[in-house]
Amino acid sequence: MSDRITIDHGSGGRASLELLQTVFLAGFDNDILNATEDSALITINKERLAFTTDSYVVDPIFFPGGNIGDLAVNGTINDLAMRGATPLYLSVGMILEEGLAIDDLKTIVATMRKAADNAGVKIVAGDTKVVPVGKADKIFINTTGIGVVAKGVEIGGSMGQPGDKIIISGTMADHGITILCQREGLAISGEFTSDSAPLNKMVEALLAKHPDKIHVLRDPTRGGVATTLKELAISSAVGINIKETDLPIRADVQGACDLLGVDPLYLANEGKLLAFVAPEIAEQTLALLRQQPHGENAAIIGEVVADHPGEVVLETVIGSRRRIDMLHGQPLPRIC
Amino acid sequence: MSDRITIDHGSGGRASLELLQTVFLAGFDNDILNATEDSALITINKERLAFTTDSYVVDPIFFPGGNIGDLAVNGTINDLAMRGATPLYLSVGMILEEGLAIDDLKTIVATMRKAADNAGVKIVAGDTKVVPVGKADKIFINTTGIGVVAKGVEIGGSMGQPGDKIIISGTMADHGITILCQREGLAISGEFTSDSAPLNKMVEALLAKHPDKIHVLRDPTRGGVATTLKELAISSAVGINIKETDLPIRADVQGACDLLGVDPLYLANEGKLLAFVAPEIAEQTLALLRQQPHGENAAIIGEVVADHPGEVVLETVIGSRRRIDMLHGQPLPRIC
């Protein structure tokens, strides 16, 4: 490992995992953190709570489909929902660069409020720091969330079982391609929109129907679907097979990815979930998802197998099979 | 108000309050946030929890008496304790600048772990982002904490009552002067040490003895004792009188303040609390505080009065009286 922090350490791929393991898990080392779920599961006087934090440094701070503010609210709500929790309260910590236009800040705050209202959560705690010009980039936002986990709900990255069907709740790579195109100043950039959205109501609908047959939920943000599936194959000690022809990708997104030389499997999503569900409820779950807001393009993309534990195998369009690894050697800075 | 963010907005004084009111409270607007306590008080299925967030951007990141890591852990623990809560869990969100030495990061993480262990809390959730060189300054840390508030504990900034004695748990301005001297590269800088320390066990001891006669607890961080007392005078709608001769300040700290032209009343403390207590327990509380770690220099510095509500009046060494306002027009960037 390098002796300095590199952009790669923040991309959500293999270098991020290495940093997590060698520095953070090694240093903080406790069972709750070591579970490395989207949310920590904590128990206070018998109440099971989910607790999660994320900092947002996206560049640009305004983009089609949202801004850093609703991205930060939705992202933390989703991390709570991926544990099967009902999100309740958020804190907001802002680091502002001297010179930021207060009107921009007001716009961001208004968007955060709207996103919170939309998801039924309250922003109850906050903090603001200011640093001199050139010591930050406009605005960084940390959101930390608390949710409550209902009795009987046991969803986690280690719960995947051979036979499970793998569902994605909609098209892939929309957030990642939107940010990349904006940043590259591409003429096509106007065509794309971030998928930033809260998924808690979608998860509620799933759990209301099949509380015990939804095994894994995870939102494929930094590192994309590929990295998330690889992590889940490892944490559940199972194999994963996906089919390229089943992956829902908008044709124009695929075209832009080809142009930029990036693989949509590795691009961030900010309003999509992956679900591993018992095979007998797969079709029903798919139908249910397609009725939900943000779920109309849901698709079954693969299955969990007992073979090749820890590995993700993609069956390509031409029928060949290749192993999918975590994001590696293609750093995508400040995507969220 | 300026239409751009200025350093003053982050100093914890009057400009910070203005930003809080006109942007954050106006935008997020709910009863819990509007209380503007050190911690939000939330209720989840009858369980009363304290919830608080703080981002740390201190410069330099290593200083005598600590580093940005234990400062971040102790600071959030203290914000929970000031609500009478027992701190339980913390999250840590890091924003790293490309190029940060991983050894420095490991040192910071180890210090955070030690501070958490020392206070009996667990770091259970985390997130790390990396930004390119020049887009942040080495490392920024957000810590967010959850604690549980015991039945019957009702401590808050609006609970101050005429007659209350005002106690500070130790000497003033130690953190602020340490950071300022480090940053100015003064030869005297080696003589000072930040007071960064967890106060939760001190608060536990106070509450064990007099659960209902401790009315207000607040740690005077950014903006110092002056700004904190002014805020409390307003939120409790009471007057506050303090005596300059009773303020515990180390002679060398006072000397450095004189040299730098800053008033120790406005410098940050990171391991001190202000307590407003019923007069009949003031002497006992003082004695108890002096037995606690970090409490040996505790002192009674004033009292709450019915006169001049919302105002803090200082009786000076020479017996004259002057009104104390919030920090204003003396921006102290990145003190925590």
CA distance linking residue B180 with residue B223, whole number of Å: 14
Distance spanning both ends of chain B, measured CA to CA: 24
B47 touches chain A (CB under 8 A): yes
Which of B27, B103, B136 is opposite residue A136, by nearest beta carbon? B136
Give the whole-angstrom CA distance, residue A142 versus residue A234: 28
What are B231-236's contacts with CB under 8 Å, separation 24+? B231/B17, B231/B157, B231/B326, B232/B157, B232/B160, B232/B274, B232/B276, B233/B160, B233/B309, B233/B310, B233/B311, B233/B312, B234/B310, B235/B36, B235/B157, B235/B158, B235/B160, B236/B157, B236/B158, B236/B159, B236/B160, B236/B161, B236/B276, B236/B304
Minimum CA–CA partner of B4 in chain A: A101
Per the CB < 8 Å rule, is B140 touching A140?
A: yes
For residues A305 and A145, the answer to whether their CB atoms sit within 8 Å is no
> Is B6 in the A-facing interface, judged by CB distances under 8 Å?
yes
Cα(B40)–Cα(A292) distance, integer angstroms:
33
The span from the CA of B171 to the CA of B23, in Å, is: 34
CB neighbours (10 Å) of residue A36?
Answer: 18
Q: What percentage of residues in chain B have a pLDDT greater than 90?
A: 91
> Percentage of residues in chain A with pLDDT exceeding 70?
99
Flag whether pLDDT at B15 surpasses 80: yes
pLDDT at residue number A183: 87
Whole-number Å distance between alpha carbons of B39 and A55: 20
pLDDT in tens, A174-185: 999 999 999 888
SS (H, E, C) chain B: CCCECCHHHHCCCHHHHHHHHHHHHHHHCCHHHHCCCCCEEEEECCEEEEEEEEEECCCCCEECCEEHHHHHHHHHHHHHHCCCEEEEEEEEEEEEECCCEHHHHHHHHHHHHHHHHHHCCEEEEEEEEEECCCCCCCEEEEEEEEEEECCCCCCCCCCCCCCCEEEECCCCCHHHHHHHHHHHCCHHHHHCCCCCCCCHHHHHHHHHHCCCCEEEEECCCCCHHHHHHHHHHHHHCCEEEEEHHHCCCCHHHHHHHHHHCCCHHHCCCCCCCEEEECHHHHHHHHHHHHHCCCCCCCEEEEEEECCCCCCEEEECCCCCEEEECCCCCCCCCCCC
CA distances from A35 to A55, A84, A162 (A): 20, 15, 21
Helix, strand, coil percent values for chain A (each to nearest 5) = 35, 25, 35
Q: Are A333 and B132 in contact (CB under 8 A)?
A: yes
In 3D space, the residue among B147, B166, B152 whose CA is nearest the CA of residue B90 turns out to be B147
Q: Does A102 touch chain B (CB under 8 A)?
A: yes
What pLDDT does residue B8 have?
92
B60 touches chain A (CB under 8 A): no
**Lowest-confidence region among A75-79, B45-49, B103-107, B326-330:** B326-330
The owner of tokens 């060494």 is B317
pLDDT value for A191: 84
Residues of B in contact with A18 (CB under 8 A): none
CA A92 – CA B32 distance, rounded (Å)? 14
* Predicted local distance difference test score (pLDDT) of residue B1: 63
Task: Quote the minimal CA–CA distance from B316 to chain A in Å.
Answer: 32
Query: Can you tell me whether residue A239 is helix, strand or coil?
Result: strand
pLDDT digits (tens, 9 = 90+) for B50-74: 999 999 999 999 999 999 999 999 9
CA A53, A55, A56: angle at the middle one, nearest 5?
A: 140
pLDDT at site B232: 97
Q: Any CB–CB contact under 8 A between B133 and chain A?
A: no
User: Are A5 and B140 within 8 A, CB to CB?
Assistant: no
Q: Is the CB of residue A126 less than 8 Å away from at least one CB of chain B? A: yes
For B321, phi and psi rounded to 5 degrees?
Answer: -120, 135
Q: What's the pLDDT band for B189 if we cut at 50, 70, 90?
A: low
Computed over every residue of chain A, the mean pLDDT equals 95
Closest CA to B64 of B296, B218, B223, B253: B253
Confidence of residue B190 (pLDDT cuts 50, 70, 90): low
CB nearest to B134's CB, from A99, A128, A134: A134
Contact A42 B101 (CB under 8 A): no
CB A316 within 8 A of CB A265: no
Is the Cβ pair B123, A333 closer than 8 Å? no
B124 touches chain A (CB under 8 A): yes
Determine contact: A192 vs chain B, CB below 8 A.
Answer: no
8 Å CB contact of B105 and A53: no
Tell me whether residues A89 and B42 touch, CB distance under 8 A: yes
Res B191: pLDDT: 84
pLDDT 10s digits, A63-90: 999 999 999 999 999 999 999 999 999 9
Residue A135, chain B, CB below 8 Å: the answer is: yes
- pLDDT band at residue A32 using 50, 70 and 90 as cut-offs: very high
CB contact under 8 A, B99 and A144: no
pLDDT computed for residue A243 by the predictor? 98
Nearest Cα of chain A lies from the Cα of B313 at a distance, in angstroms, of: 28
Q: Does A200 touch chain B (CB under 8 A)?
A: no
Cα–Cα distance between A285 and B16 in angstroms, integer?
49
CB contact (8 A) between residue A127 and residue B53: yes
Convert the pLDDT of each residue in A118-139 to its tens digit.
999 999 999 999 999 999 999 9
Task: Categorize the per-residue pLDDT at B211 as very low, low, confident or very high, splitting at 50, 70 and 90.
Answer: confident
Could you give the CA distance from residue A278 to residue A167 in angstroms, rounded to a whole number? 11
Residues B159-188 as b/e (b if ≥16 CB within 10 A, e otherwise) read bbeeebbbbbbbbbbbbbbbbbbbbeebee
Q: Tell me, what's the pLDDT at A326? A: 92
Closest approach of A294 to chain B, Cα-based (Å): 25
Q: What is the pTM of this model?
A: 0.97
Average pLDDT rounded to a whole number, residues B173-180:
96
Full 3-state SS string of A157-217: CCCCCCCCEEEECCCCCHHHHHHHHHHHCCHHHHHCCCCCCCCHHHHHHHHHHCCCCEEEE
